[in-house]
A and B are shown apart, each in its own frame.
Chain A
Amino acid sequence: MTYAGPRDLLEIDLTRRTWRRTPLGDDVFADALGGVGLAVRLIDERVRGPLDPLGPENPIVVAAGPFASTPVPAANKHALATISPLTGLLNEGLSSSHFSAVLRRCGLAAIVVTGAADAWTTVAVDGDRIRFEDASSLAGRSARDTTKAIREAYGDRSVRVCAIGAAGERGVRFAAVENDGRQAGRGGTGAVFGAKKLKAIVLRGRGDVAIADPEATAAFAKMLRERALGPKTTKYRVLGTSANLRVLQRMGQLPTRNFGAAQFDGAERVTPERARESKETYVELRAGCAGCPVQCEHLYVRKDRDRRRAAASEYESVWAFGPNCGVDDLDAVLDAIGRCDEHGLDTISTGSAIAFAMECAERSLVPHDAFGPELRFGNGAVLLPAIDAIAARRGLGGVLADGVRIAARRIGGGAERFAMHCKGLELPGYEPRALPTYALGLATCTRGACHNRAATYDKDLRDPSSEPDDARRARDAIEAEDRAVAWDSLVLCKFVRDCFEDFDEEGAALWTAVSGVPLDGAGLRAAAQRTWERKRAINARLGWTPDDDVLPPRLFEAIAHGPNAGRRVERERLAALQIEYERQRSVRGARAGATNAEPALRVAQKP
């Protein structure tokens, strides 16, 4: 069967200022689907050995979700993949909304950018035409301002833009890429844009997006839309992810003060639920991606302030600047999130870097006045100066801008012991010492410490009392990883995950209806596994070995207080789990003719 959707690959060479547009074959879509699967395949073809993530040879791939610009709800999404300057390994992330849809309306399945410009540049895809445009006047501007300026220059509000802010321009290793107010935040893709002097990618396209079976697609889209407006997503529509803060506090699993504790005395004062309940003090605004009925984003601002300063209140962002920095001032936390968006910074890594610096100051490893206001846990006044310094790479901010792994080496004094990262990517806001399967997933995740790729915290949290054996835990971790790849290759928002009765079969049927390429549930699982194998193989070529799958030392120390007092990650137990994980991966990989079977077997044979 012929793939029905947009199939062109646009290859941009910024050094030579050349471009090439070629159609991808049906076999590519049958093998990799779209989104992350396609992006990883394109990286796999181009990265054949170690490279400098900030060098011109590092490719950036933008790959459309295969359901973008169709009636399928919660599907206007695209993947961004590159080699991360934070981890030195593969980084693949997602963003969403109008940009994703217009990418396909330009007739594109993916864009690959290589090389580096010698001055700030935007790449414009204007229907069939490709232009390299001078972006020197946009330097230093936020992604939002950049988008506004480009639209004014085009005289066309339908133009869609993904851009970096000042942090990406200055090579902050956890700089984000933003489009339509959404961010591909983790892993520093924004810094790779900056190293290429690529300020933005501009899209304008109005082409039709063909669907293989419009009737079947429309029927499925209608069903999914109805489910997405029902009780399965009420939690996201009414509360958003920030409701997790109170829950994790109650369970004693809320990382606090750079993972120094697992409960936060100020949790109640900093939860965005409190802002929602304080209608006399706060205004709540709602937002969401194009074509999504859930509209999950909840933004808050005090009533006496400009509504344009309303900040998104996702759990991870609130956690990073709240409990993890010991700050119990909700306004300071919301301001910090907003400031990260202005500079184009990942909120998790930024908050983690500041929490790390607070602990360094507490241990007299860095000056208390490095950012002006006292650098200490609980001082909300230091958040904005610290964020500004990181974005500007000024003073201690310049050290933190490389992420906590590199910063700890430079600061010395044993700071590595409390630098909370896996393979260089800072930890998100779940306490691994109380979540053993999640701890395994963090250690093995190809991206580093990513809660969306190693989403096993969900299983641990649902029944913290269960003690499955190692084989079960390893299988849970593998299935969570592969399930994430399947979602991210189709690409559907994970917030509609509960709207499917049998995701593998229904997702495959939807793919078949939209693309015309036959797929069943087993085929979807196999495609996900192939992509995971490619991720591991890319990392192996970049120098990864199983010895890199480690957790930060602090997680081997016991939680001191709260319901989980005494719990820690046990080295021997984790090692046994990793061996079992690799054994199962090897078996699956061998069945699939995996390229990474050798390192997996090596770790499986460890004593």
Chain B
Amino acid sequence: MMRVELFGMARAIAGASHVELAVDGPVDLREFVRALADAVPGLVPDVVAPSRDAFVEPNLLLLDGRRAVRDGERFDRNDNPCVLFLASGG
């Protein structure tokens, strides 16, 4: 299981600050987003795109709240994934 921290819209829709994903080993970003959409279907379409393999901007995934996932990179629960949300000023 992978524990994911949720912020912003993801948290508001899930109604929880964390969610557990049913994934065992390392995943890439697409696999992660699919697992997240499976765990919280309500995230589609406001947080996860209808294709279920990408986030709707400005939602994004940061590992340990500090760095973005690189192309092709695989990560696991020890990387402390956070689904963040940035609301730019106007």
Contact = CB atoms under 8 A, between A and B. Distances in A.
A239 B89 contact: no
Interface in A495-515: 495, 497-498
Contact of A239 (B5, B8, B57, B90): B8
Given A239-B12, A462-B68, A498-B58, A247 B90 contact: no
Contacts of B7: 243, 246-247, 250
B89 A243 contact: no
B12 A244 contact: no
A142 to B, nearest CB: 24
A316 B58 CA distance: 18
B88 A462 contact: no
A315 interface: yes
A458 to B, nearest CB: 5
A554 interface: no
A495 B90 contact: yes
A458 B86 contact: yes
Nearest to B49: A231
Contacts of B58: 235, 458, 462, 498
Contacts of A316: 89
Interface residues of A, number: 38
A451 interface: yes
B82 interface: yes
B39 to A, nearest CB: 19
A452 interface: yes
Nearest to B15: A277
A241 B86 CA distance: 8
A464 B9 CA distance: 21
A461 B5 CA distance: 17
Contacts of A252: 65
Interface string A462-484: 11111000000000000000000
Interface in B62-82: 62, 64-68, 82
Nearest to A251: B65
A229 B68 CA distance: 29
B40 interface: no
Contacts of A428: 89
Query: Which of A250, A498, A563 is most buried by chain B, counting CB atoms within 10 A of its CB?
Result: A250
Decide if the interface of chain A is mainly helix, strand, loop or mixed: helix
B89 A452 contact: yes
A240 B87 contact: yes
Contacts of A276: 12
B86 A461 contact: yes
B54 to A, nearest CB: 12
Contacts of A463: 67-68
B74 to A, nearest CB: 16
A464 B86 CA distance: 13
A526 to B, nearest CB: 24
Contacts of A273: 11-12
Contacts of B11: 246, 273
Interface of B: 5, 7-9, 11-12, 45-46, 56-58, 60, 62, 64-68, 82, 84-90
Given A235-B8, A243-B7, 17 more contacts: A232-B56, A236-B87, A238-B12, A239-B12, A239-B87, A244-B86, A252-B65, A296-B90, A315-B89, A455-B89, A458-B86, A462-B58, A462-B68, A464-B66, A495-B90, A498-B58, A563-B65
Interface of A: 231-232, 234-236, 238-241, 243-244, 246-247, 250-252, 273, 276, 296, 315-316, 428, 451-452, 455, 458, 461-466, 493-495, 497-498, 563
30 contacts: A232-B57, A235-B8, A235-B9, A235-B85, A238-B9, A238-B12, A239-B9, A239-B12, A241-B87, A241-B89, A243-B85, A243-B87, A246-B7, A246-B8, A247-B85, A250-B7, A250-B82, A251-B65, A251-B84, A273-B11, A315-B89, A452-B89, A452-B90, A458-B86, A462-B60, A462-B86, A464-B62, A464-B67, A464-B68, A494-B89
For the complex of A and B, the 3 pairs showing the least CB-CB separation, nearest first, are A465-B67, A463-B68, A494-B90
